Amino acid sequence: MCGIAGSVNCKLTKESIDLIHHRGPDSQALIEIEMGNNHLFFGHTRLSIQDLSEAGAQPMFTDCGNYCITFNGEIYNHKELRQRLSDVNFKGQSDTETILYYLKQFGIEGVKDFNGIFAFSFFDRAKGKLYLVRDWFGTKPLYYYLNGNKLLFSSEIKVILNNPEYKKDIDETALNSFLTFRYNPAPQTLYKDIKKLEAASYLEFNLDGTVKYTDYWPKVQKINNDITEEEALVEYRRLLDQSVKRQLLSDVPVGLLLSGGLDSAVLGKLMSEKASYQIKTFTVGFEGKGNYNELDDARITSQLINSEHHEIYMEKDTYMNYFYKSFFHTEEPIAEPTIPALYYLSNLASQHVKVVLSGQGADEPMAGYKRYKGEKFISDYRKILSMLPLSLASTLFPNNSTIDRGIYSAKFKDELDRFIAIYTLFTPDLKGKLYQGGLQDQIGMDQKFLFQKAFDRTDKNADSLSKLLFLDTRTMLPDNLLLFNDKLTMANSIENRVPYLDIDLVNYLETLPIHLKLKGQMGKYIHKKASEAWLPKSIIHRKKRGFETPVGDWFKSELSDSLTDLIDSSDSLSRKYFNVPFIKDMIQQHRTMKRDYKKQLFILLSLELWHSSFFKSDFSSQPADLQSVIG
Query: What pLDDT score does 379 carry?
Result: 77
Q: Residues 137, 115: contact at Cβ < 8 Å? A: no
Percent of residues, the chain, with pLDDT higher than 70: 92
Strands (DSSP E) found in 261-372? 280-286, 308-314, 355-357
Query: Which amino acid is located at 247 in the chain?
Result: Q
User: What is the average per-residue pLDDT within 592-613?
Assistant: 93
Query: Does residue 623 carry a pLDDT above 80?
Result: no
Q: How many CB atoms lie within 10 A of CB 220?
A: 13
Which pLDDT belongs to residue 628? 63
Q: What percent of the chain has pLDDT over 90?
A: 75
- Which segments of 396-514 are extended strands (E)? 495-497
Q: Where are the alpha helices (DSSP H) in 249-366?
A: 262-274, 295-305, 316-330, 339-349, 363-366
Return d(Cα 15, Cα 234) in angstroms, integer: 52
The end-to-end CA distance of the chain, in Å, is 38
**All domains of the chain, ordered by start, with CATH?**
2-215 (3.60.20.10), 229-362+475-540 (3.40.50.620), 370-473 (no CATH), 551-630 (no CATH)
Residue 256, amino acid: L
Amino acid at residue number 570: S
On the question of a cis peptide bond just before residue 536, with omega within 30 degrees of 0, the verdict is no
Consult the annotation and say whether 358 binds a ligand: yes
Is 257 annotated as a binding-site member?
Answer: yes
Of 286, 283, 256, 288, nearest in space to 272 by CA = 256
Confidence (pLDDT) at 29: 95
pLDDT, position 157: 98
The CB density around residue 254, as the number of other CB atoms within 10 Å, is 23
Sheet harboring 254-257: ordered strands across?
A: 308-314, 280-286, 254-257, 355-357, 495-497
pLDDT bracket for residue 398 (50, 70, 90): low
3-state helix, strand, coil in the chain (%, to 5): 45, 15, 35
CA–CA separation, 402 and 421 (whole Å): 12
Q: Annotation-wise, does 95 bind a ligand?
A: yes
Backbone torsion region of residue 488, taken as left when φ is above 0, otherwise alpha when ψ lies between -120 and 50, otherwise beta:
alpha
pTM: predicted TM-score of the whole model, two decimal places: 0.94
Mean pLDDT of the chain: 91
Q: What's the mean pLDDT in 387-399?
A: 64
Task: Report the SS3 class of residue 471.
Answer: helix
Q: What residues form DSSP beta bridges with 522? A: 519
| Catalytic residue ranges | 2
State residue 27's pLDDT score.
85
The span from the CA of 63 to the CA of 42, in Å, is 18
Q: Tell me what pLDDT residue 376 has.
A: 81
